[in-house]
Amino acid sequence: MRYLHCAFGYLLLVAGARARHSKLFTSQPAFADYPFPTISIECTELGPSGTYLDKDHTSEGAGLIPALSWPSPADDTVEYLLISEDPDAPIPESVTHGIYYRIPRDKTGVQHPDFRIKKKSWEPYMLRGGFKYGKNRQDSVYVPPSAFFGQGPHRYFFELVALNDSIETDNMSVLATRGEVHREIIGKVAGWGEWVGVFESP
């Protein structure tokens, strides 16, 4: 069953790629020079991109963000940004489940504890992983995938973006929005990669 799920998820990825990719963060103008992924992202706790999320990675369980890993940074990488989004919601825009920025260049992955809020930080919205989170639809660190009855499977994209210059936070809200983050990375994108988890209400 798990194998079937995985294979189906992969087909969905291939079939849906063309139709729905335009909603994704990585389809926006900042990525004009990078239409295809350049960084390989792994999720050893769940499996290859296109795998179905297990219960603990959805709102029905612990609601964990998949732990991801990637290779050492390219020479020009200054920092990373990570976004989690669902382009398959039946609305015109992709739903942002989480957005994380100023991820230090020396990180080659993110683990569950990285996403806990850092208390007593002089900077608001700081996480223990040493980076900040931006605005999702609940103003929380992460909104785990939840059931949408009768909609079929949704794909949850986790996109890591390498930047060759740091994000300027002066003109962003304190809880930065997806649009503000996009505006601030124009001319700074130096590569990206993605991992996709699939979830369908049981």
Which residues of this protein are in contact with ligand NAG, per CB under 6 A?
Answer: 33, 76, 164-165, 168, 170-171, 187-190
* Shortest CB 181 distance to ligand NAG, Å: 13
HSE of 155, CA atoms in CB hemisphere, 13 A: 26
What sign does the dihedral 50-52-56-60 (CA atoms) show? positive
Identity of the amino acid at 157: F
* Closer residue to ligand NAG, CB minimum distance, 45 or 165: 165
**What's the gap between Cα 27 and its chain centre?**
14
Query: Dihedral of the CA atoms 176, 40, 76, 164 (nearest 10)?
Result: -20
* Shortest CB 189 distance to ligand NAG, Å: 6
* Shortest CB 27 distance to ligand NAG, Å: 16
* Shortest CB 174 distance to ligand NAG, Å: 15
Burial class (CB in 10 A: 0-12, 13-18, 19+), 43: buried
Backbone angle region of 50, left / alpha / beta, with phi > 0 → left and psi within -120 to 50 → alpha: left
The pairing of beta strand 189-199 with beta strand 51-52: parallel
Q: Which residue has 């706790």 as its token pair?
A: 45
* Shortest CB 186 distance to ligand NAG, Å: 9
* Closer residue to ligand NAG, CB minimum distance, 82 or 167: 167
* Closer residue to ligand NAG, CB minimum distance, 99 or 189: 189
Are 53 and 145 in contact by the 8 Å Cβ rule? The answer is: yes
* Closer residue to ligand NAG, CB minimum distance, 56 or 165: 165
* Closer residue to ligand NAG, CB minimum distance, 138 or 170: 170
Q: What whole-number distance in Å separates Cα of residue 81 and Cα of residue 79? A: 7
* Shortest CB 184 distance to ligand NAG, Å: 7
* Closer residue to ligand NAG, CB minimum distance, 27 or 111: 27
